[in-house]
Structure 1
């Protein structure tokens, strides 16, 4: 097995396009990581890097916060199927001091962001996890303010005159439910 960090750059990977030298494609190259030689040579001027159809992990990359990082990844890779973030502070686990609850919340949040994700970290994404992730993280905030049985739903909320006491009461109710269930909003 060769060490990918010292891999020689194949001439067919690097197309020096006079029109746009800020683009590099590494698609379909069976990569598990981006070779160090490519990072060293191109990282200062590449703005567009296509690494699609590879199995590149993002382990131990010092990702400290999922926001806004996950949004950028979702924008860049909307059809992502495999993602591995193990060893990052934003991906809590027993190995980096996280609790099971933190790990579960992280996992469900990531799953909710990528509809086509089949595998996250060291585990396959299950249908139950996908359902729970969508239940927790895909429900619009305004829907949570309107009680489920009320007639009119969001349209009622939008047309009714806003009263601070009503909004404050609903927010408090929502917050206390979330705290009682130990779930993130």
Structure 2
């Protein structure tokens, strides 16, 4: 998993509340277990008109947001089912940070496991960012170590984050990465345990 330290990136605003995971990545795109190629399904029902043509009013269809790495949105983002394809699709699109007043719990947890930083700011702070984000090329700097979001004008908003999650994301460690930090100890235990309980290792070379 790619570490997250500091990010200065283009902001894409999605001014909607209660964005659920079925809107983030509809069910027809859940047939794969690969984490790539899902950007084509991201917000699919909002990106397309009924005739299948791109909706020019939706931000993903606007060239001004090409390369955006920060998604700015509203309350309760990621509600609905627990599908991990939702953060996969956002990451495949290029988003490394999502800023909102609140997130659904499971989606919030899944973001950390996939290298995305979900930032919770106060409602009035998010509202201020939405007003500024109307300007073309609007960028923010997100500093994980300092736990701040800084505007081009120098205003900084501080966010809270669990210290364990912060450390894992900063070092690029998901659950597997954390386990592999103890690979030598695990191997030593298996060598010691195998003669004691060989039936547990019947299928282990």
Pairwise same-fold verdict (TM > 0.5): no
Q: Pick the structure with greater CA Rg.
A: 1
* Bigger proportion of residues as strand: 2
- The TM-score, its normalising length taken from structure 2, stands at 0.34
- The TM-score, its normalising length taken from structure 1, stands at 0.37
